[in-house]
């Protein structure tokens, strides 16, 4: 054989490579070029494909470790729908005029001079006239309320 | 994942599954995984990590990240394979950075494979065909190096003999065998790279 003598450096590299290939702790850093070539040869022999069984096992691992996204996505989809629904309800209320705004505040009937005179007379002891005037004023008041809140309890 | 060649799925098929998977449909995600895990493992991860266990870890990490970030994915008219390949390359780099801590020796040999591999842009995966091509190329290169180097490589890597068995068969001491193997691997690498340069079938 015409192999030339190995240098000390080459012997050290050869020992480290042998240890690495055997899965032992190498005494020094193994040469990367030889390790890469060995990995290429191993891949050529063992095959580059992942077995279907390993592949399915890994898929299970991935799915098991994933956070449950569906519930969050469900909420995410419901939120815009709820907002849209609320906007529609608001628009209906505004346009049907069912909500009392400042312009629809009820103006109560003002008491007339007769009622004020009857109140003055009542302070002097004549209460009969005040009762009659109050009766008439209450009727006006109830009529105004009935007109504004017609049909509502 | 089949080792047989299979027809690539259409972008429409992908889009439908991506949308459903983004909505939490596990079956749709499983469909995407079964379509792309094979090529990601064989073309991206194993050549960059040189170790099946590390490549499997990285594959799981890749698809875990894909599942979490699927909502951000935008197809832009190309296959999701490219997006997955980018994640996988980053995962492989992460593992290389962690190598010292994990004490797992990782060998990036993807550059040696790159002239042989089909274009990465092709998600179509024909593992048997690709494997046959790799084996044929190894055999061709072995014929071009010194017979003694080819013998030690065949015994150690193809016949998977132990170091001691190889030394017995070759009638050398263990130390001599180690040196022989180192020289054989270096000679193989040089020839492999020469062969790639002069390969008339190179893509």
pLDDT, average across residues B192-201? 68
Note whether B100 and B151 are same-domain residues: no
Locate tokens 């909502």: which residue? B71
Q: What is the average pLDDT across A18-38?
A: 90
Instruction: Please give the share of chain B, as a percent, with pLDDT higher than 90.
Output: 54
Q: Name the domain boundary from B65, B92, B111.
A: B111
- The residue-averaged pLDDT of B33-48 equals 91
A63 and B26: CB-CB below 8 Å?
Answer: yes
Rounded CA-CA distance B59/B65 in Å is 10
Is pLDDT above 60 for B158? yes
Say which residue the tokens 């994933």 belong to.
A66
Task: Count Cα neighbours of B166 within 13 Å in the Cβ-side half-sphere.
Answer: 25
Other Cβ atoms closer than 10 A to A131: 11
- B82 belongs to a structural domain: yes
Nearest-by-CA chain B residue for A71: B24
The answer as to whether B6 is a domain residue is: no
The domain total for chain B is 2
Q: What is the CATH number of the domain that holds B83?
A: 1.10.1740.10
Do B33 and B87 fall within a single domain? yes
Interface of A with B in 39-58 (CB under 8 A): 39-52, 54-55, 58
Residue of chain B nearest A67, judged by CA positions: B68
Angle of helix B52-69 versus helix B80-102 axis, rounded to 10: 130
Predicted pLDDT of residue B60: 96
H helices of B40-126, in order, are 46-49, 52-69, 80-102, 110-113
Is residue B3 a part of any domain in this protein? no
Contacts of B14 (CB under 8 A, 6+ apart): B32, B35, B75, B79, B80
pLDDT at A13 over 50: yes
Query: Chain B: residue nearest A40 by CA?
Result: B109
Asked whether the predicted pLDDT for residue B49 surpasses 80, the reply is: yes
Structure confidence at residue A132 (pLDDT): 86
Residue B124 lies in a domain: no
Nearest to A71 by CA among B45, B38, B173, B24: B24
> B136 pLDDT exceeds 80?
yes
Check: CB of residue A99 under 8 Å from CB of residue A93.
Answer: yes
Distance from CA of B11 to the nearest CA of A (A): 22
Determine the Cα–Cα distance for residues B8 and B60; give it in Å rounded to an integer.
22
**In chain B, pLDDT over 70 holds for what percent of residues?**
83
ipTM for the predicted complex: 0.75
Task: With respect to residue B31, please indicate whether it lies within any of the assigned structural domains.
Answer: yes
pLDDT at A142: 85
Same domain, B15 and B67: yes
Helices (H), chain A: 8-22, 32-46, 52-65, 69-96, 113-123, 128-148
Share of chain A above pLDDT 90, in %: 22
DSSP at B72: G
What is the model's pLDDT at position A72?
A: 47
CB contact under 8 A, A34 and B186: yes
Q: B160 and B84 in one domain?
A: no
Residue owning tokens 């072995």: B142
Section A7-18 average pLDDT: 95
CATH number of the domain encompassing residue B165: 1.10.10.10
Same domain flag for B35 and B95: yes
pLDDT in tens, A111-135: 888 888 888 888 888 888 888 888 8
Domain of residue B149, residue span: 144-198
Q: Are residues B17 and B97 in the same domain?
A: yes
For B162-188, the pLDDT digits (tens) are: 999 999 999 999 999 999 999 999 999
Decide which of B59 and A49 is more confident.
B59
Q: Which of A27, A44, A53, A73 to mutate to test the interface with B (most CBs of B within 10 A)?
A: A44
> Is residue B120 in a domain?
no
CB–CB of A68 and B24 under 8 A?
yes
Q: Do B32 and B91 lie in a common domain? A: yes
Residue B168 belongs to some domain of the structure: yes
Whether B80 is in a domain gets the answer: yes
């Amino acid at each position: 054989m015409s192999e030339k003598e190995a240098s000390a450096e080459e012997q050290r590299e050869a020992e480290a490579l042998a240890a690495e290939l055997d899965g032992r702790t190498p005494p020094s850093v193994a040469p990367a070029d030889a390790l890469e070539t060995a990995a290429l040869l191993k891949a050529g022999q063992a095959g580059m494909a992942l077995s279907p069984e390993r592949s399915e096992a890994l898929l299970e691992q991935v799915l098991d470790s994933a956070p449950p996204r569906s519930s969050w996505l469900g909420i995410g989809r419901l939120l815009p729908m709820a907002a849209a629904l609320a906007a529609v309800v608001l628009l209906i209320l505004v346009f049907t005029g069912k909500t009392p705004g400042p312009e629809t505040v009820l103006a109560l009937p003002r008491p007339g001079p007769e009622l004020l005179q009857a109140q003055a007379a009542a302070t002097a002891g004549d209460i009969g006239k005040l009762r009659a005037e109050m009766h008439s004023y209450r009727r006006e008041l109830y009529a105004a309320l009935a007109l504004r809140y017609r049909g509502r309890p | 994942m089949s080792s047989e060649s299979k027809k690539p799925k259409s972008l429409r098929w992908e889009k439908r599954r991506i949308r459903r998977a983004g909505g939490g449909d596990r079956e749709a995600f499983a469909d995407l995984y079964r379509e792309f895990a094979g090529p990601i493992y064989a073309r991206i991860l194993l050549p960059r990590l040189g170790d099946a266990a590390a490549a499997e870890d990285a594959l799981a990490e890749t698809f875990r990240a894909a599942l979490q970030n699927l909502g951000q994915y935008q197809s832009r008219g190309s296959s999701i394979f490219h997006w997955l390949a980018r994640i996988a390359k980053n995962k492989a780099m992460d593992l290389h950075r962690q190598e010292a801590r994990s004490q797992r020796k990782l060998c990036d040999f993807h550059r040696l494979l790159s002239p042989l591999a089909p274009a990465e842009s092709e998600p179509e995966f024909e593992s048997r065909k690709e494997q046959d091509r790799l084996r044929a190329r190894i055999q061709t290169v072995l014929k071009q190096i010194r017979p003694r180097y080819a013998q030690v490589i065949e015994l150690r890597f193809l016949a998977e003999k132990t170091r001691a068995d190889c030394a017995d068969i070759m009638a050398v001491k263990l130390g001599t065998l180690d040196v022989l193997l180192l020289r054989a691997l270096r000679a193989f690498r040089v020839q492999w790279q020469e062969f790639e340069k002069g390969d008339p079938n190179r893509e």
